[in-house]
Structure 1
Amino acid sequence: MNNSIQKYDLEEILFAVTTNTKRIQTTIQYLKFWTNLSNINCLIVFDEMDFVNHTNITEYLMYEGIPCAVQTSSVLRYEERYLELFYLAWNKQTTVKEYSERKKVQWFAIADDDTIWFVYNLLRTLEHYNSSNTIYLGNISTKKFQITQHGDYFAYGGGGILFSRSLALLFVQHRQKCKRFLKLYNGDEMIGKCVIEELKINLTKNKNFHQMDHIGDMTGLMESGLDGLVSLHHLFKLWQPFPDTNINKSNETIHRLNIAYTTFNKNFLKRYLRINYNTNQSMLLTLGYSVSLFNRILSHTELSLIEKTWCCDEVVDRITRPEEKNKTTWYFQRLINKQSTNPIKYEMIYKKKFNINDQYSSLKVTIIN
C-alpha cells in the first residue's frame, strides 16, 4: 500500500462482466445499482452464439438504463470468458476511438454480474494504491469453509478483482501462457494462478471487498461496521440484507440500499451508540441500515465483534459473539429530508415488523453529521 494519496476519476476505472442473455434478466437490478452513475465506464461480454440468437438484448439493456458497451466472445465456457475479461477490457480501451478522448484507464475491475459495486468507496480505497505499480487487488471469501476448499491465495470474483494498468498490460502480454490454467474450475482461480505463478505477483488483500458466501441472516455482519464497503455478493442467492417480514423483493431491496448509500455516501453503515444507564439499554444506529435497541449495556469489546445471526461457519477475519435474544430492530425504510448544510441534517424512517401479518412499527431518526 502506498503512503501517498492517489486521486482517480471514475472514468479511469473500466468495469467488465460476462453473462448470458437469460441470466442478465435476473441480475439486471445488481447492474443498475452501480452503472447508473455518469461517466461510468463498463463492458458486458456475451457468448457470441447466445447473443446472435437474442440480439434484442441490446435494446433491453438500453431500456433498463444500462450504459455499458456490449461485446461478444467466441469462448463458450463461462469460466474461460471470465479469464478473458481483462484481455477484452484492455483491447477495448486501446482500440475504441472514444477512449482516445478520455483519461487513460488506470484500473481494470471485473466481478460477477450479481456483484454490487459501491463505486465511490472503491475510488476512496484506490487512493492508497498507485496504478503504475503491478497490483493485483481484491479479497478472499468471508467463509472459512470456502477458503479450506478453494484456497486463500487468489481474489474471489464475487468480491471483485482489480488490476492496476501496469499489471493489466503484463497480463495481456502473457495471455497465451495463462491458457494452461483453463482446466481449473473457476475463472477467478484461473486468473489467480496466472498472476501468481506466471507473472509472480501476489494478491494484495483489502478487507473492503466482500464475497459473501454465508447462508441465512447476515444482519449481524451488516450491523458490525463495514467502513469503506466496496462490494457485496450473493444477495438473495445465499442471504438478503433485510428480513423477509420487512422487505422480500430483490428490486425494492436493492433500490433501498442504493438510496441509503448514495445519500450517506462514505458514512453509509457508520455506527452510532447511545447508552441509557438508567434503563440499562443500548441503542445502536447503523446509518442507512438499522436501529437496534439492546436490553443491556454493550461494551466496547462487544462492539468490535460480529453478532452471529447466521448459522454455522465462521467468518475468516472477524471474531463473533452470540446472537442477541432480547433486542428490537428497525430497518431503514426511506429518507424524509436531507438539508445540505454544514453540518448536514438527515431525517429518515426506520421500520420493524416481526411477522407478515403485523403492523409496521416506525421510528423517525434525525441525525446531524
Structure 2
Amino acid sequence: MFSTRKTINHDPFSFLKILVPPTIIKAIYLCFVASVVSLILYFAFSNYSHCFTQHHNVVVPTIFNHRTITTVNSSDKTNISHILFGIGGSLKSWNKRRHYIDLWWKPNVTRGFVWLDQKPSSNMTWPETSPAYKVSADTSQFKYSCWYGSRSAIRIARIVKESFELGLENIRWFVMGDDDTVFFTDNLVTVLAKYNHNEMYYIGGNSESVEQDVLHSYTMAYGGGGFALSYPLAAELVRVLDGCIDRYDKFYGSDQKVQGCLSEIGVPVTKELGFHQMDIRGSPYGLLAAHPVAPLVSLHHFDYMEPMFPNLTRIDSVRKLVGVYKMDPGRTLQHSFCYDLSRNWSVSVSWGYTVQLYPSLVTAKMLDTALETFHTWKSWKLGPYTFNTRSVSSDPCKRPLVYFLDRVESVDGDETLTVYKRYVQKGEKDCPQRDYIPALEVQFFNVSASSFNPNLWNKAPRRQCCEIVNGGEVKSVAQIKVRGCNRFERATPVKKVETL
C-alpha cells in the first residue's frame, strides 16, 4: 500500500552530485575547508577588535543607522561632564523662561541643548549664559489624537532621540527637562552616580497631585521634574521611539509617550524623591519646608505658583534658593528638629529656606508632615497628594512662627551660617496666650552647620539632628546647630527620661 522510501543521504552537498562531476565536488570541499581554517586563523591572530569581544567596564558598541555608538568607559566616577541635557523649549516662551535656565546652566561645564520648535530670527541675539539651541526635526508625519493636548508633545518626546543621534562622546546619562525646570546639578550628579550607567536605568519622580498620576500614570517620570536615561537604555529607546509615538498617539504628553516605549522595553521607573514636578497651585511653602530626606534635584512650574520667598518675585525667589544651594548643595532644604524642654519649644529647620518655631511640644511625626499651603494642580482642591499633609489652623496659637532665610555666609571654609528672619503675613494676629510671649520675642534664628558630605547619600537615609545652643539665653536671636545624629539619638518631645 505504501511505496518504499530511499534512505536519505545526510551529505549536505549531495544535491550537487546530480549536476556536478565528482572531481569538481572534491575541489569544492577543499576550498570550503581552506576557507574555514583561514577564518579561524584570522580571528585568532588578528589585532582587529571584534564587536563580540567582552571588555570590562565598557558598553559594547551597537550599530544604529549605520553609525557606531560611542562606548562608555566607567573607570572614573560619574561627573557633570557625563550628562547631556535635552531641554524642551519653544521660541515663543524662550525669552520669558530662559532666566530659569541661566540660574543653573554653567557655560563650558554643563553639556546639552535647548530644542526649539523653530529657528530664531537673524536679529535675535542668543545669550552666552544659556545652552546652545537646536531646532527639532519636523514631526508632521506622526499621529497625535489626544483632543486636549498639543502636537508639541511629539517633538519633545523625540528630543532624547535627536540628542542621542548627535553622537557626542563620553555620555553616560541623557537628562530631559523643560525650559522652566531648574536642576540642582551637583545633587543630580550625586543621585546618578549611585547607579551603574552601563545598565538600563530610567530615573525620575511622579506628580505630587494624585489626580495627575491617575490621569496620566503612576509608572512614569514626569518630564517637568526631569528624568534621566542611562546610555544603554537611551540606545534601546532610540531604536523603537518613532514607532512607539504612533502607537501611543492618544497619550497627552511627551513623558507619557516615552514611558510607553520604555514599558515595551521592560524598564520601570526608578523613583528618586528629589525630582519635583511641582504639580501644585498656590504657595509651595509647606512642601518645601518638609522636604524628604533626599537630595534636592529639580523644581518646576514656578510660573504657576506663588514665589517661594515673600516680597520677592518668582525669579528672584529661585535665584535666592540657588544662591544658598551653591554654599552647601547636599544640605539644601534638609529637615532637622530640635526641642527646648525648658520652654516647651519645638523647632523645625529646613536648611537654606525656613525655620518654624512652635511654642509647644510637637511630635516629630507632625513636624515631618507638610503644611497644606497649596492646592492640587488641576482641580485646585485640598488633596489628595502623593505625600501626607496637615491643614493650616486658623487659630494663631496652633500655628508656628515662621522665619525665612535672610542671608548665608561661609565660616572657616567648612561650615555655614544661615540666618532666618521672622516673617509676619499682613493681617496676621499673634497668639495672646502668655506662654507665647517669649517666643514672639525671637526675631532671628542663626543656624550653623558643617558642610554636608555628599557621600552620606550613599548610605541609608537619616534626617540629621539639631540642638538649641543658647537655650538659657534666648532673647531676640536663637542659636541652632545642625549636625549628624549620635548613636541612639532621637527627636522626642519629652521632659523626662523614659523608663522601661
- TM-score range for the pair, normalised by the shorter chain length: 0.7 to 0.9
Does structure 1 residue 326 correspond to structure 2 residue 395?
A: no
Give the match's secondary structure for 1:302.
helix
Q: What letter corresponds to residue 162 of structure 1 in structure 2?
A: A
Q: CA deviation at 1:32?
A: 1.3
| 8 Å CA contact 2:276, 2:299 repeated in 1 | yes
| 8 Å CA contact 1:45, 1:72 repeated in 2 | yes
Query: TM-score if structure 1 supplies the norm length?
Result: 0.85
The CA RMSD over aligned residues, in Å, is: 2.6
Q: What letter corresponds to residue 152 of structure 1 in structure 2?
A: Y
Q: What letter corresponds to residue 88 of structure 1 in structure 2?
A: E
Partner of 2:476: none
**Closer, same or farther: CA 333–195 of 1 in aligned 2, 3 Å:** same
Q: What letter corresponds to residue 346 of structure 1 in structure 2?
A: L
**Per-residue Cα deviation, 1:132-153 (whole angstroms, up to 9, x for no partner):** 1111111211111111211212
Partner of 1:339: 411
Q: Distance in 1 between matches of 2:320 and 2:443?
A: 16
Partner of 1:41: 111
Does structure 1 residue 90 correspond to structure 2 residue 164?
A: yes
**Closer, same or farther: CA 6–302 of 1 in aligned 2, 3 Å:** farther
**Per-residue Cα deviation, 1:321-366 (whole angstroms, up to 9, x for no partner):** 332542211111322x312434x14253535242299xxx962514
**Closer, same or farther: CA 347–73 of 1 in aligned 2, 3 Å:** same
Does structure 1 residue 189 correspond to structure 2 residue 237?
A: no
Q: Distance in 1 between matches of 2:337 and 2:108?
A: 36
**Closer, same or farther: CA 338–313 of 1 in aligned 2, 3 Å:** same
Q: Distance in 2 between matches of 1:86 and 1:341?
A: 40
Structure 2: runs of 5+ lacking an equivalent = 1-74, 141-150, 376-381, 429-441, 451-500
Q: What letter corresponds to residue 321 of structure 1 in structure 2?
A: R
Partner of 2:244: 178
Q: Distance in 2 between matches of 1:213 and 1:267?
A: 24
Query: TM-score if structure 2 supplies the norm length?
Result: 0.64
**Closer, same or farther: CA 232–71 of 1 in aligned 2, 3 Å:** same
| 8 Å CA contact 1:19, 1:78 repeated in 2 | no
| 8 Å CA contact 2:339, 2:346 repeated in 1 | yes
Partner of 1:256: 320
Partner of 2:352: 288
| 8 Å CA contact 2:206, 2:221 repeated in 1 | yes
Structure 1: runs of 5+ lacking an equivalent = none
Q: 2:446 aligns with which of 340, 347, 365?
A: 365
**Closer, same or farther: CA 218–18 of 1 in aligned 2, 3 Å:** closer
Q: Distance in 2 between matches of 1:6 and 1:281?
A: 48
**Per-residue Cα deviation, 1:185-206 (whole angstroms, up to 9, x for no partner):** 2111111111112x22222222
| 8 Å CA contact 1:6, 1:129 repeated in 2 | no
**Closer, same or farther: CA 56–163 of 1 in aligned 2, 3 Å:** farther
Partner of 1:269: 333
Highest RCO, 1 vs 2 (Cα 8 Å, sep ≥ 6): 1
Partner of 2:85: 15
**Closer, same or farther: CA 26–353 of 1 in aligned 2, 3 Å:** farther
| 8 Å CA contact 1:6, 1:128 repeated in 2 | no
Give the match's secondary structure for 1:36.
coil
Residues matched between the structures, number: 343
Q: What letter corresponds to residue 91 of structure 1 in structure 2?
A: E
| 8 Å CA contact 1:18, 1:46 repeated in 2 | yes
Partner of 1:25: 95
Does structure 1 residue 297 correspond to structure 2 residue 371?
A: no
**Closer, same or farther: CA 37–262 of 1 in aligned 2, 3 Å:** farther
Q: 2:176 aligns with which of 96, 110, 114?
A: 110
Give the match's secondary structure for 2:158.
helix
Q: What letter corresponds to residue 191 of structure 1 in structure 2?
A: V
Q: CA deviation at 1:289?
A: 0.1
Q: CA deviation at 1:310?
A: 2.4
Could you say which structure has the larger radius of gyration? Answer: 2
Q: CA deviation at 1:38?
A: 4.9
Percent identity between matched residues is: 23
Q: Distance in 1 between matches of 2:243 and 2:76?
A: 32
Partner of 1:222: 288
| 8 Å CA contact 1:332, 1:351 repeated in 2 | no
The 5-angstrom pairing of residues 305-324 of structure 1 reads: 305-311=369-375, 312-316=382-386, 318-324=387-393
Give the match's secondary structure for 1:220.
helix
Q: CA deviation at 1:320?
A: 2.2
Give the match's secondary structure for 1:170.
helix
Partner of 2:490: none
Q: Distance in 1 between matches of 2:406 and 2:108?
A: 26
Give the match's secondary structure for 2:100.
helix
Q: Distance in 2 between matches of 1:250 and 1:39?
A: 26
